[in-house]
Amino acid sequence: MRHFGLIGKSLSHSFSAKFFNGKFKAEQIEADYQLFEIEDVATIDSLIKEHNLEGFNVTIPYKESIIPHLDGLTKEAHEIGAVNCVVIKNGQKIGHNTDLTGIEASLHWLDIDSNPKALILGTGGASQAVQYALTELGIPFDLISRDPAKGNYTYDNLPVEVVAESKLIINATPVGTWPNVEDAPRIPYAYLTPEHHLLDLVYNPPVTQFLDYGNQRGARTMNGEVMFLAQAAAGWKIWNE
């Protein structure tokens, strides 16, 4: 039996175990996938040993803090500065970033006609992958952060003109994730138009309050399901190379 899993702090929203265990059953693979809620990422080695893990995914809040506990990173993971997938071979833990694959797939399916100015909500691990993807595509962007030192704006000093001009807005925060489904990032939604594209990396619920506000203004919206499926498939490929 092969063993995989997901580490994070709060995982009640995650579909990862259902996805991977369903995949194992459909493909008649003797493997299982578990959710591991941990309070300290420094316990990762004991977790790997206890459950004999061959690989694991990483989610909030450990995509950055996991890095010092790994033995190596791929080029993309190093440049992004965040890891969401780890493969363990010959006792070595190698970090990858398959969020990038998921974000690229999402932007493709969102079908943006041109390269608009973008606004990224959040500056954590997921945001860093979004920033990398947009840079590769030549799409300029501004960052909103709760920390004035990390973003171009905070939620309290965001000019309405920036929202109006940013035709691509990406929520790279966990705000609005189940069970807190009534929450939404604090931006002036009244300035959204049918020319706007909203991408939420959250996939549970399928229509977040962020996306609902966009729908009310006629914007084109997309949740994080495509990203989830694309990054999961990329992770499975890495674990089986």
Q: Give residue for tokens 């990203």.
A: 227
Nearest one of 148, 165, 158 to 188, comparing CA atoms: 158
**What single letter denotes the amino acid at residue 93?**
K
Query: If we measure between CA atoms, which residue out of 76, 157, 153, 147 comes closest to residue 119?
Result: 153
Going by C-alpha positions, the residue among 97, 102, 93 that lies closest to residue 63 is 97
Catalytic residue from among 18, 23, 49, 63: 63
Reference 76, options 145, 117, 136; nearest CA is 136
58, containing H or E segment: strand 55-58
CA atoms within 13 Å, Cβ hemisphere of 211: 19
Catalytic: 18? no
Catalytic residues: 63
